[in-house]
Structure 1
Amino acid sequence: MRRTGTTRRGALTATGAIALGAVLAGCGSDDEGGGRTGSARADARTAADSSSTRQAEASLRKKAVGVTASLLGQYENVLAAHPATAAGLAPLRDAVRAHVKALSPAKGASLEFVRTRPAGGPQEAVRALAAAERRAAASHTAALLEAPPELARLLASVAAAASAHSYLLTELAKETKA
C-alpha cells in the first residue's frame, strides 16, 4: 500500500526548491534606482582590486622565483663540485629549472648563479640540498595563504615537488659515498 501525504523526501525537496529560488532571486543587479552609478562604482572597485591583486601576485612570484632560483644555483654548484652525483641530481635540477620558468613572471628571464664550492664531500652536499629543498617547500607553502587561486595551485605543486625532492635527496645522501 502506497503512503499518502507529505513524506520526508518530499519536504526536503520542497525546502531545497525554495532555498534555490531565494538564492536565484538574490543574484540580481545591485542597481537600486535603475541608474548606472552603482555599476560604475562596482567597476572602479573591481579595477582597483584587480590592480592590487596583480601587484600582490607579482610580489609573491618574485619571492618564489628567488627561492627557487637560489635552489637551482645550489644544484649547479654541487654538480660542478661533485660530478659523481650527476646521475642522481641532474633530473632533480632539471625539474627545479622548470619550476623557475613556471614561476617567473617574465618569459625568457635569464638566470645568474653565484658559483661557490659546497662545504664537505658529496654526501654533505647532497644533505645540504635536501635541507634547501625542505626550506623551499616551506617557503612556497607559506606563500599559499596570500596567493590568488591560480598562483596558489602552482605554488602548491612546486612545494609538493620540493618535498618529494627532499625525500629523494635524503635517500641519495645515504647511498652517496663520502
Structure 2
Amino acid sequence: MPWTSPLRLSRRSLLSGAAGVAGAALLTGCSDGDGSSDTAVGVPLERRMRETAVRDSERLLERYDATALAHPALAARLAPLRAAVAAHTGALASADSAAGRPSGSASPSSSAAAGAASSAPAGAPAVSGEPVPPKPEEALSALADAERSLSEARTIALAGAPGELARLLASVAACGAVHAYLLTSPQGAKP
C-alpha cells in the first residue's frame, strides 16, 4: 500500500481560511454569554449606547461632587465644568427619553451622589469608588484623567453609533477633552 502525503495547504489558502473565519465571527456578532442575542432582548443598540453614556456622565458628576466636597477651595473652579457635565447628562438622558426611555429615570443617582458625597472627607472614596486624592493638584489630575478616559471611550464608541447619537457623543467627547485640559492647565486655574 503506497503512502500518500497528507494534504498540504498553501500559505495563501490558510490565510484566506483564517480571514473567512474571522469575518464570519464578526458577522455573527456578540452576545452576553447567556445564549440570547441582542435582538432577542429587544433593546435597540442606540438606546443601550445612550443609557451607557448617561451612566458614565452620572459617574463623572459623582467624581466632580466628591472632589469639590473633599477640596472646598476647588469648588468654584470645578463648578462650570461640573455644570457642563450635568448639561451633557441631561442632553443624553432627554435624547434617551425621546428614544423610548421613561422620563423619570434619567438621573436617579445624581441626587444620591450629592447626598453620599456630602460626608466624604479628603482621601475618602468618591461615590464611584475612586478615592479623591488628598492633595488638590492630584485631585484635579485624577479628575482630568477621568474626563480624558471618558472622552476617549466616547470617541471610540462613535464608530458604532447611529447618526444623531454619534454627533452628540462627538460633541460631548470634545468637551471632555477640553475639560481635561482646563483641569491640568495653569490657565484653567484663573477665574
TM bucket, shorter chain:
0.5 to 0.7
Aligned to 2:171: 157
In 1, the alpha carbon distance for the partners of 2:174 and 2:42 equals 24
In the TM superposition, residue 82 of structure 1 has moved relative to its aligned partner by 0.8
Name the amino acid aligned to 1:134.
R
Aligned to 2:70: 81
In 2, the alpha carbon distance for the partners of 1:84 and 1:61 equals 34
Q: Structure 1 length normalisation: TM-score?
A: 0.64
Q: Deviations over 1:102-160 (max 9, x none)?
A: 11123452323253531221111111000000011011111101110000000000000
Q: How much is the aligned-residue C-alpha RMSD, in angstroms?
A: 2.5
Q: Which runs of 5+ in 2 are unaligned?
A: 1-40, 98-102, 125-131
Within 5 A, what are the aligned runs for 1:103-114?
Answer: 103-104=92-93, 105-106=96-97, 107-108=103-104, 109=106, 110=108, 111=110, 112-113=112-113
Name the amino acid aligned to 2:156.
A
In 2, the alpha carbon distance for the partners of 1:163 and 1:75 equals 15
Question: Residue 135 in 1 paired to residue 149 in 2?
Answer: yes
Check conservation: 1:130, 1:170, Cα contact below 8 A.
Answer: yes
In 1, the alpha carbon distance for the partners of 2:149 and 2:63 equals 13
In the TM superposition, residue 63 of structure 1 has moved relative to its aligned partner by 1.1
In 2, the alpha carbon distance for the partners of 1:54 and 1:100 equals 20
In the TM superposition, residue 53 of structure 1 has moved relative to its aligned partner by 10
Aligned pair count reads 126
Q: Structure 2 length normalisation: TM-score?
A: 0.60
Q: Which runs of 5+ in 1 are unaligned?
A: 1-51
Question: Residue 145 in 1 paired to residue 159 in 2?
Answer: yes
For the pair shown, the structure with the greater C-alpha radius of gyration is: 1
Check conservation: 2:147, 2:179, Cα contact below 8 A.
Answer: yes
Runs of 4 or more consecutive aligned structure 1 residues displaced over 4 Å after TM superposition: 172-176
Name the amino acid aligned to 2:89.
V
Equivalent residue of 2:133, what SS?
coil
Alpha-carbon distance change, 126 to 162 in structure 1, aligned in 2, over 3 angstroms: same
Q: Deviations over 1:26-81 (max 9, x none)?
A: xxxxxxxxxxxxxxxxxxxxxxxxxx997100110111111111111000001111
In the TM superposition, residue 173 of structure 1 has moved relative to its aligned partner by 9.6
Alpha-carbon distance change, 98 to 175 in structure 1, aligned in 2, over 3 angstroms: closer
Check conservation: 2:155, 2:173, Cα contact below 8 A.
Answer: yes
Equivalent residue of 1:119, what SS?
coil
